[in-house]
Amino acid sequence: MNTMQLAAYLFLILIGLAMLFQLALAFGAPWGEMTMAGKYPGRLPAAMRIAAIVQFLLLVLIGLIVSIRAGLLVQNYYDRSQSLTWVVVVFTLISVTLNSISPSKKERMLWAPVTLILFICSMIIGLS
């Protein structure tokens, strides 16, 4: 297994956990203080639960892009995935930044390291 594949597998495991987290929020898990800057402790209000579903779908798309770029899925879109991988890099960089400055200590402690690893993995994939 090469470095890019290892980075892709780690990325996909972490993005999968983030997807499960978003689904749990959408279905009412009381983890609001670990997301959205901790603005909604406990269960998220209905509008934010819909936002969690949108975030879940966005993470699915990101996972697909990385999977294609790593050669794990749909080779027909490999060339297009090269430029889209850089969108993922920018997205993960923004995520690192926002999670690192979140007023919610729990969000910072949980998601800042995860998004940093996602960013590093996406850079490795983008440069491969």
**Burial class of 52 by CB neighbour count within 10 A (0 to 12, 13 to 18, 19+):** buried
Query: CA 119, CA 86: separation in Å to the nearest integer?
Result: 10
pLDDT tens across 23-76, in order?
999 999 999 999 999 999 999 999 999 999 999 999 999 999 999 998 888 788
Q: Which residue has the tokens 């609001």?
A: 32
By residue range, what is the domain housing residue 112? 3-127
pTM of the complete model: 0.93
pLDDT recorded at residue 71? 86
Q: What is the pLDDT of residues 105-125, one digit of tens each?
A: 999 999 999 999 999 999 999
Q: Could you give the number of structural domains in the chain?
A: 1
